[in-house]
């Protein structure tokens, strides 16, 4: 049966975004980098709301990478503070917003209060429909190494055999276990790199690179990225 135009143009069910360009946005305005991250957090709120309006089921954002610890103490503290503030608000408004949270990354290096907020947000929102995955102290290679280590440990314990390992089984050891791979990965800010983001999960994703800094990213930019995704799918997709 042929798909109707509406079904053909349904948004991707999973969109992933590298929220890049906060520092440059601040520099252009003579502001400290933390002001750029604060504007980036506002942009995230706007886009997460818009994703919900569109019916996007999963939104995964790169909020803090394993490499981001190399930044100044002030900048790292600024980003952590924004995350804390956001999660406190999210916990307060949970019933109203009905967003489910997951965290990809090694949370053990975060401050204990932030870890607790992450765990509370995750456990209290488990049943909601729209899901935001925050990549926090996340690296794609690190995720794969941690997954391999856990599987190897189970083999050593006699719980698994090496020949049982398939791509599908390996998926279950990743932070993203149970979540479909993103169909679309967006990187604003003009950079054209993957930067260790969702290396395993984006094997078949469409990448859209855009010349807009993340704090300036609007719902119209998301529409544009989704339109580009549909154009490519129509040209190269199967029947």
Instruction: Answer whether 107's CB lies under 8 Å from 136's CB.
Output: yes
Choosing from 68, 97, 120, 171, the catalytic residue is 68
Which residues contact residue 45 at a Cβ distance below 8 angstroms, ignoring those fewer than 6 apart? Answer: 86
Site map for ligand FPP, 49-78, x if CB under 6 A? --------------x----x----------
Site stretch for ligand FPP (CB under 6 A), options 9-17, 80-88, 143-151, 226-234: 80-88
Instruction: Answer whether 193's CB lies under 8 Å from 222's CB.
Output: no
User: What residues between 84 and 123 interact with ligand FPP by CB under 6 A?
Assistant: 86
Q: Which residue is nearest to ligand FPP (CB)?
A: 23
- Alpha carbon distances (Å) from 56 to 26, 80, 129, 182, 226: 30, 26, 10, 11, 11
Q: Any idea what the Cα angle at residue 145 is, between residues 142 and 149, rounded to 5°? A: 140
CB of 40 or CB of 139, closer to ligand FPP? 40
> Does 22 interact with ligand FPP (rule: CB under 6 A)?
yes
Q: Is 97 a catalytic residue?
A: no
Instruction: Answer whether 218's CB lies under 8 Å from 45's CB.
Output: no
> Does 40 interact with ligand FPP (rule: CB under 6 A)?
yes
Shortest CB 10 distance to ligand FPP, Å: 26
Count CA within 13 A, CB hemisphere, residue 213: 17
> Does 79 interact with ligand FPP (rule: CB under 6 A)?
yes
Q: Is 211 a catalytic residue?
A: no
How many chain residues interact with ligand FPP (CB under 6 A)?
16
Instruction: Answer whether 165's CB lies under 8 Å from 189's CB.
Output: no
β-bridge partners, 103: 134
Site stretch for ligand FPP (CB under 6 A), options 36-44, 50-58, 124-132, 197-205: 36-44
What amino acid positions are annotated as catalytic residues?
20, 68
């Amino acid at each position: 049966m042929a798909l109707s135009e509406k079904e053909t143009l349904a948004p991707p069910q999973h969109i992933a975004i590298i929220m890049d360009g906060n520092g440059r946005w601040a520099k252009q305005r003579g502001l400290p980098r933390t002001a750029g991250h604060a504007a980036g957090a506002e942009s995230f709120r706007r886009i997460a709301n818009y994703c919900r309006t569109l019916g996007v089921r999963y939104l995964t954002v790169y909020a803090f990478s394993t490499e981001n610890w190399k930044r100044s103490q002030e900048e790292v503290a600024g980003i952590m503070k924004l995350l804390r503030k956001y999660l406190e608000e999210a916990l307060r408004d949970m019933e109203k917003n009905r967003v489910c949270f997951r965290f990809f990354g090694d949370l053990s290096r975060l401050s204990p209060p932030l870890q607790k907020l992450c765990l509370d947000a995750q456990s209290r929102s488990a049943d909601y429909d729209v899901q935001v995955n925050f990549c926090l102290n996340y690296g794609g290679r690190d995720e794969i190494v941690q997954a391999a280590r856990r599987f190897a440990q189970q083999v050593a314990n006699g719980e698994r055999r090496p020949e049982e390992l398939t791509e599908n089984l390996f998926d279950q050891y990743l932070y993203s276990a149970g979540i479909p791979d993103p169909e679309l990965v967006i990187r604003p800010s003009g950079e054209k790199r993957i930067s260790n983001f969702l290396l395993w999960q984006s094997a078949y994703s469409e990448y859209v690179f855009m010349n807009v800094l993340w704090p300036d990213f609007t719902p119209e930019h998301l529409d544009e990225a989704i339109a580009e995704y549909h154009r490519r799918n129509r040209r190269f997709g199967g029947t």
